[in-house]
Amino acid sequence: MSETILTLDRVTKTFGHGTSAVHAARAISFSLQAGRALALVGESGSGKTTCARMAMREYQPTSGQILYKGRPVEGAKSDEIARYRRSVQMIFQDPFASLNPAHTIAHHLRRPLKLHRPEIKGTDIDSTVRELLQRVRLDPDLVAPKYPHELSGGQRQRVSIARALAAKPEVIVADEPTSMLDVSVRLGVLNLLNEMKQEMNLGLLYITHDIATARYVAEDIAVMYAGQIVEWGSVAGVIDNPQHPYTRLLLSAVPDPDVRFEDPKARLRPEEVENIRRRSAAPQDEIVELEPDHFMRMV
């Protein structure tokens, strides 16, 4: 059994109050383990980013708790929180927006090294920058002196991955890491994340609206709708044998992710789609166990 690094334990996040309250995450529980990836899948607005931001400690959960190696993060000492911040790194959707146009790639990689790994000093800093670029299959001589606008989208996302790795993390949260990239380079970035997971024994939270891509990086999958996890299990189990109507709905839009559910090509009538959404959005407290690694919520 791999080591559990991060756990969300019945975590809830509500924005606003009263009738205008948005229940962005409702009793979400999952764990991230060393050397394994969990794909969190769902349409826009299902609550994936809210979960990512809670895992990053950018949002405070309304209720429930986050555990780091079995210990609650809330109320932890400042050195433990610093360790957590170093251990959990994020890769964003838009690699351009997350890189500063005024600084070289080398600068972007030196900063997290100085911040998180002060033991690396002098010329070792630049040799570590080179190693990081090589790890993400970029040529250090060509890429280190460049500015973000001089690189392609795929190269920029590789730099973002290298920057996350600079902190020597145990967990990487990747929020739609390929959705702004050219289709031709998406698979390369997913394969790279998969390799990093295996080689560096990283826990990976892979967030995507495109359920088909989960296969390339993840062992486990959780399908979200309206702030709830409606089905979860092994990637193969859930994708090949979906039990929940909403998972089937998501899969009906595959392999063409641009086909909307309402589209006739998705072969579902609009009232059927509406019915599935309505039932999936209702609070789902009962859990049905299907097989040891495959669960779904009652609808």
Ligand X SMILES: Nc1ncnc2c1ncn2[C@@H]1O[C@H](COP(=O)(O)OP(=O)(O)OP(=O)(O)O)[C@@H](O)[C@H]1O
Contact set with ligand X (CB under 6 A): 15, 22, 24, 42, 44-50, 209
The single residue listed with the structure tokens 């991230």 is 32
Q: Is beta strand 171-175 parallel, antiparallel or unpaired with respect to 88-91? A: parallel
Q: Is beta strand 37-41 parallel, antiparallel or unpaired with respect to 220-225? A: parallel
Taking the least distance from each CB to ligand X, the nearer of 13 and 116 is 13
Least Cβ distance, residue 177 to ligand X (angstroms): 12
Q: How far apart are CA 210 and CA 188, in angstroms?
A: 16
Amino acid identity, position 220: D
Taking the least distance from each CB to ligand X, the nearer of 46 and 157 is 46
Dihedral (Cα; 149, 150, 154, 157), 10-degree rounding: -50
Least Cβ distance, residue 210 to ligand X (angstroms): 11
Taking the least distance from each CB to ligand X, the nearer of 225 and 295 is 225
Taking the least distance from each CB to ligand X, the nearer of 22 and 82 is 22
Taking CB atoms, the residue at the shortest distance from ligand X is: 49
Taking the least distance from each CB to ligand X, the nearer of 54 and 133 is 54
Least Cβ distance, residue 194 to ligand X (angstroms): 22
Least Cβ distance, residue 63 to ligand X (angstroms): 16
Taking the least distance from each CB to ligand X, the nearer of 71 and 209 is 209
Q: Is beta strand 203-208 parallel, antiparallel or unpaired with respect to 171-175? A: parallel
Least Cβ distance, residue 52 to ligand X (angstroms): 7
Identify the three-state secondary structure at position 169.
coil
Least Cβ distance, residue 53 to ligand X (angstroms): 8
- Backbone angles phi and psi of 161, in degrees to 5: -65, -45
**Which pairs count as long-range contacts for 161-164, CB under 8 Å and 24+ apart, including other chains?**
161/91, 161/136, 161/189, 161/192, 161/193, 161/196, 162/109, 162/132, 162/133, 162/135, 162/136, 162/138, 163/108, 163/109, 163/112, 163/132, 164/89, 164/90, 164/91
